[in-house]
């Protein structure tokens, strides 16, 4: 049953990709005509043909996205069935190599992530038809976009179903390569080509690490299927090696520091609905890989692994949000914030590993739940934010915060959607982001029950780093919303922006706003539904979480901590109502409207506002060693009495390039130069090489 819907979902995604090609090259394409209204031509016929073509393309693209929508619904149904019934469905597909068919398995963990994929696709497929209209005007190859989107979605779902290493890697690469084409979609900009290449390069390096990790497992087992991996335990040394390789591979895909460099380059340049899928969904697939590999295939978690994951997660969270705060480009800001959120997820995972490794699996459950819940939450609000940011860029043709402003008056609905996303991602009650951060804090505070004093003091420090991250995330999203949507418009484009016309571009993200509320208000039900996953991975559940009924979330006993999201929401509404009623009673008259006071200076204009760069200046100054800062002033002089134009130039670079990537690049180039000495260019040298190789091989063969 669950497998049927998952297969259906994959087939629908593939069909949507095929339909995209058929529309372009298939037999049923209608004759097209130029909109060339030269005198003497049959004007009516031309217009008629043009209209027909537009209608045809429109319905065709809608077909592509409708199939994608169905695929998403199928994924949600399939995943929910697997998760709620808690049955493991298995299958063997007669595909792949003759002696190695593809093993398929759908359990609660895959089911949960399948739901995340489904929840990601549904709003994107509502949003897509309106968003890609701009590409049609600019004559981009829409068939490629449709095809790769279909393959990308199918690839992600196949990763979840894979039950042998061979199939897993094929699905993994399908996901990586198809998303490469999506990143490179607008390839006429050099920046996009560079980003796509970097993405491909790092995906390949990551894949090598994953293959090596599987290789370690396979050498202890008799095949490549996961069941063999599960049944054959590794020696501690090899288990740690396999784990570290997997952490490198999956961590690079998940955008954990220091393997994050591709993410802030690749995510912003893809079309916005694809960025939403990549940030919202694909990064979670990498987390799925890490969970599957370490908890399920390796087993026997050692607490030292958890320390590594916690350290990586903490640094990703802190650095990710520090970098995000300094960005002025809307989508780059969101991309860096994804690194932060992946860091938070990794922190939850690391805590789960530490507790499990120390023999306290019942506490590890809290960490694992926090990680899973944050996966779900981030997939919702990051999807929402990317879609809303896409609407802004689509309508205003500006992506720099310093050229936006005042959009709340011109795009009120998009502004509301964006605001809800910002509140949710800033981990403010009563929306969903708060719940998962609260759970992460609760997991961290269980550290007192550990034996080791080092761990006991290290984990609360990670929790304090998480508090810093949360506060800075709020500042970052205040900047995004406050500079972009409030104040006065900073450019002509921003001043003439209009609300999106396509209904899907509102209903898609609007749906996600609803989910933010739903998962924020009813956390206990989600935690209950996740019980099979923790039972599968840790062999433990958290029965106390819902012991006080559906309204209370109590990870320990009620005396340890409790949070009741519905009561908080009701309390907030009640407090709001009381305040309103009281104020109405005391002063009933409507507020007067007038020009802004501005301390009586008058003549307020858009240039006087704080810019995005200025807003983040204090933090930039306090934590200046974190960034690779290049700042210069031109023409500024304290003693100048004349009015001169002043230029301020600021570049905020990523330190990881200076410290890690450029050295590695230089080393590689140097090594390549040395190897290149072998290539003399003369045919005699090459014949000598062949001869020597032949002799060597003969020598080996005769041994």
Partner 1 sequence: MNGLLATLEPLLFIFISPLLAGWIKWIKCRLQNRRPPSLLQPYRDLAKLFRKTPVVASHASWIFEATPYILFASMLLAVAIIPSIAVHLPTASIADVIALVGFLALGRFFLILAGLDIGTAFGGMGSSREATIATLAEPAMLMGVFTLAMSANTTNLAIAIDYVLDSGLVLRPSFVFALAGMVMVAIAETGRVPIDNPATHLELTMIHEAMILEYSGRHLALIEWAGQIRLMLFGVLIANLFFPWGIAETLTPDALTKGLAAMLAKLMELGMLLATAEMMLAKMRIFRVQDYLGFAYLLSLLGMLSHVILEVG
**Ranges within 399-438 binding partner 1 (CB under 8 A):** 405-406, 408-409, 419, 423, 426-429, 434, 438
Whether the CB-CB separation of 13 and 93 falls below 8 Å is answered with no
- DSSP-derived 3-state class of residue 90: strand
Ramachandran quadrant class, 671 (left: phi over 0; alpha: psi -120 to 50; beta: rest):
alpha
Does 498 sit near partner 1 (CB under 8 A)?
no
Does 96 sit near partner 1 (CB under 8 A)?
no
H helix or E strand, kind and range, residue 575: helix 565-586
Q: 408 or 660, CB closer to partner 1?
A: 408
Binding track over 203-242 against partner 1, x by CB under 8 A: ----------------------------------------
Distance separating alpha carbons of residues 386 and 128, to the nearest angstrom:
12
Q: 467 or 687, CB closer to partner 1?
A: 467
Q: 152 or 434, CB closer to partner 1?
A: 434
Whether the CB-CB separation of 368 and 348 falls below 8 Å is answered with yes
Q: 91 or 402, CB closer to partner 1?
A: 402
For partner 1, how many residues bind (rule: CB under 8 A)?
84
> Which of the residues 584 through 603 are near partner 1 (CB under 8 A)?
586-587, 589-599
Kindly tell me which residue out of 215, 514, 550, 571 binds partner 1, with binding defined by CB under 8 A.
Answer: 571
Does 638 sit near partner 1 (CB under 8 A)?
no
Packing angle, helices 361-396 and 330-357, rounded to 10: 170
Q: 559 or 690, CB closer to partner 1?
A: 559
Q: 239 or 435, CB closer to partner 1?
A: 435
> Which of the residues 447 through 466 are near partner 1 (CB under 8 A)?
447-448, 453, 456-457, 460-461, 463-465
Distance of closest approach, residue 462 Cβ to partner 1, in angstroms: 11
Distance of closest approach, residue 435 Cβ to partner 1, in angstroms: 10
Whether the CB-CB separation of 407 and 490 falls below 8 Å is answered with no
Does 624 sit near partner 1 (CB under 8 A)?
no
Q: 220 or 441, CB closer to partner 1?
A: 441
Give the number of residues written for the chain. Answer: 703
Q: 100 or 488, CB closer to partner 1?
A: 488
Does 626 sit near partner 1 (CB under 8 A)?
no
User: Do the bridges between strand 628-634 and strand 89-97 make them parallel or antiparallel, or are there none, so unpaired?
Assistant: unpaired
Does 646 sit near partner 1 (CB under 8 A)?
no
H helix or E strand, kind and range, residue 158: helix 142-161
Distance of closest approach, residue 493 Cβ to partner 1, in angstroms: 17
Kindly tell me which residue out of 130, 255, 268, 487 binds partner 1, with binding defined by CB under 8 A.
Answer: 487
Distance of closest approach, residue 630 Cβ to partner 1, in angstroms: 21
Distance of closest approach, residue 385 Cβ to partner 1, in angstroms: 16
H helix or E strand, kind and range, residue 633: strand 628-634
Kindly tell me which residue out of 140, 468, 627, 661 binds partner 1, with binding defined by CB under 8 A.
Answer: 468
CA distances from 109 to 115, 117, 161, 231, 530 (A): 10, 13, 10, 19, 9
Distance separating alpha carbons of residues 682 and 363, to the nearest angstrom:
67
Q: 88 or 626, CB closer to partner 1?
A: 626
Does 478 sit near partner 1 (CB under 8 A)?
yes
Give 384-425 as a DSSP string. Answer: HHHHHHHHHHHHHS--BGGG---HHHH-HHHHHHHHHHHHHH
CA distances from 654 to 323, 374, 402, 525, 661 (A): 8, 26, 20, 41, 10
Distance separating alpha carbons of residues 86 and 84, to the nearest angstrom:
5
Whether the CB-CB separation of 330 and 392 falls below 8 Å is answered with yes
Q: Which residues pair with 563 in a beta bridge?
A: 553
Binding track over 357-396 against partner 1, x by CB under 8 A: ----------------------------------------
Distance separating alpha carbons of residues 392 and 500, to the nearest angstrom:
9
Contacts of 654 (CB under 8 A, 6+ apart): 261, 264, 323, 627, 628
Distance of closest approach, residue 387 Cβ to partner 1, in angstroms: 21
Whether the CB-CB separation of 123 and 511 falls below 8 Å is answered with yes
Kindly tell me which residue out of 441, 495, 507, 650 binds partner 1, with binding defined by CB under 8 A.
Answer: 441
Kindly tell me which residue out of 174, 445, 536, 626 binds partner 1, with binding defined by CB under 8 A.
Answer: 445
Does 606 sit near partner 1 (CB under 8 A)?
yes
Does 677 sit near partner 1 (CB under 8 A)?
no
Kindly tell me which residue out of 1, 58, 572, 685 binds partner 1, with binding defined by CB under 8 A.
Answer: 572
Q: 238 or 441, CB closer to partner 1?
A: 441
Does 610 sit near partner 1 (CB under 8 A)?
yes
Does 559 sit near partner 1 (CB under 8 A)?
yes
Distance of closest approach, residue 613 Cβ to partner 1, in angstroms: 11
Near partner 1 by CB under 8 A, which window of 84-92, 109-117, 328-336, 440-448?
440-448
Task: Supply angle C-alpha 536, 540, 541, rounded to 5.
Answer: 95
Does 642 sit near partner 1 (CB under 8 A)?
no
Q: How many CB atoms lie within 10 A of CB 478?
A: 15
Does 581 sit near partner 1 (CB under 8 A)?
no
Closest by CA position to 343, among listed 371, 315, 313: 313
């Amino acid at each position: 049953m669950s497998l049927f819907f998952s297969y259906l979902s994959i087939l629908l995604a593939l069909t949507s990709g095929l339909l995209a090609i058929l529309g372009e090259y298939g037999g049923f394409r209608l004759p097209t005509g130029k909109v060339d209204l030269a005198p003497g031509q049959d004007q009516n016929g031309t217009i008629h043909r043009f209209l027909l073509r537009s209608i045809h393309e429109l319905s065709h693209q809608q077909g592509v996205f409708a199939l994608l929508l169905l695929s998403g619904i199928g994924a949600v149904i399939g995943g929910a069935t697997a998760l709620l019934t808690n049955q493991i469905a298995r299958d063997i597909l007669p595909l792949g190599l003759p002696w190695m068919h593809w093993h398929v398995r759908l359990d609660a963990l895959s089911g949960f992530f399948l739901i995340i994929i489904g929840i990601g696709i549904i709003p994107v497929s509502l949003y897509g038809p309106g968003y890609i209209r701009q590409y049609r005007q600019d004559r981009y190859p829409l068939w490629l976009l449709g095809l790769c989107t279909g393959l990308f979605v199918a690839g992600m779902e196949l990763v979840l179903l894979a039950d042998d290493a061979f199939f897993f890697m094929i699905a993994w690469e399908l996901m990586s390569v198809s998303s490469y084409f999506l990143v490179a979609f607008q390839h006429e900009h050099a920046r996009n080509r560079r980003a796509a290449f970097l993405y491909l390069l790092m995906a390949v390096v990551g894949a090598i690490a994953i293959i090596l990790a599987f290789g370690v497992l396979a050498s202890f087992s008799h095949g490549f299927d996961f069941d063999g991996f599960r049944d054959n335990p590794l020696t501690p040394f090899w288990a740690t090696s396999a784990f570290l390789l997997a952490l490198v591979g999956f961590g690079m895909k998940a955008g954990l520091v220091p393997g994050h460099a591709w993410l802030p380059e690749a995510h912003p340049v893809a079309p916005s609905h694809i960025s939403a899928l990549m940030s919202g969904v694909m990064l979670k697939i990498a987390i799925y890989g890490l969970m599957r590999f370490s908890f399920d295939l390796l087993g026997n978690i050692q607490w030292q692994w958890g320390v590594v994951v916690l350290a990586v997660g903490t640094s990703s969270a802190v650095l990710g949000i520090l970098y995000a705060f300094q960005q002025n480009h809307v989508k780059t800001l969101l991309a860096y914030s994804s690194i932060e959120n992946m860091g938070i997820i990794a922190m939850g995972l690391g805590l789960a590993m530490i507790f499990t490794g120390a023999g306290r699996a019942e506490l590890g459950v809290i960490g694992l739940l926090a990680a899973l819940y944050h996966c779900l939450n981030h997939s919702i609000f990051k999807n929402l934010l990317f879609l809303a940011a896409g609407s802004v860029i689509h309508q205003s043709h500006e992506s720099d915060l310093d050229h936006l402003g005042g959009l709340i008056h011109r795009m009120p609905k998009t502004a509301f959607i964006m605001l809800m996303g910002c509140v949710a991602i800033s981990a403010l009650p009563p929306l969903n982001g708060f719940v998962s951060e609260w759970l992460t804090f609760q997991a961290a505070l269980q550290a007192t029950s550990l034996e080791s004093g080092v761990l006991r003091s290290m984990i609360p420090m990670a929790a304090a780093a998480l508090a810093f991250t949360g506060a800075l995330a709020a500042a970052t999203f205040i900047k995004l919303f406050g500079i972009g949507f409030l104040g006065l418009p900073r450019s002509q484009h921003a001043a003439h922006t209009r609300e999106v016309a396509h209904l899907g571009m509102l209903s898609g993200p609007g749906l996600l706003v609803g989910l933010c509320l739903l998962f924020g208000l009813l956390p206990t039900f989600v935690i209950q539904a996740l019980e099979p996953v923790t039972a599968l991975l840790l062999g433990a559940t958290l029965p106390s979480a819902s012991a006080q009924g559906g309204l209370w979330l109590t990870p320990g006993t009620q005396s340890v901590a409790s949070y009741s999201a519905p009561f908080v929401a009701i309390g907030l509404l009640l407090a709001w109502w009381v305040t309103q009623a009281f104020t109405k009673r005391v002063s009933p008259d409507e507020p007067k409207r007038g020009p802004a006071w501005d301390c009586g200076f008058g003549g307020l204009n858009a240039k006087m506002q704080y810019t995005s760069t200025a807003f983040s200046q204090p933090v930039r100054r306090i934590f200046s060693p974190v960034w690779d800062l290049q700042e210069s002033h031109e023409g500024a002089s304290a003693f100048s009495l004349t009015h001169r134009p002043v230029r301020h130039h600021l570049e905020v670079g990523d330190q990881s390039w200076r410290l890690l990537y450029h050295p590695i690049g230089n080393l590689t180039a140097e090594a390549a130069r040395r190897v290149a000495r072998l290539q003399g260019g003369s045919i005699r040298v090459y014949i000598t090489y062949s001869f020597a190789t032949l002799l060597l091989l003969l020598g080996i063969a005769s041994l």
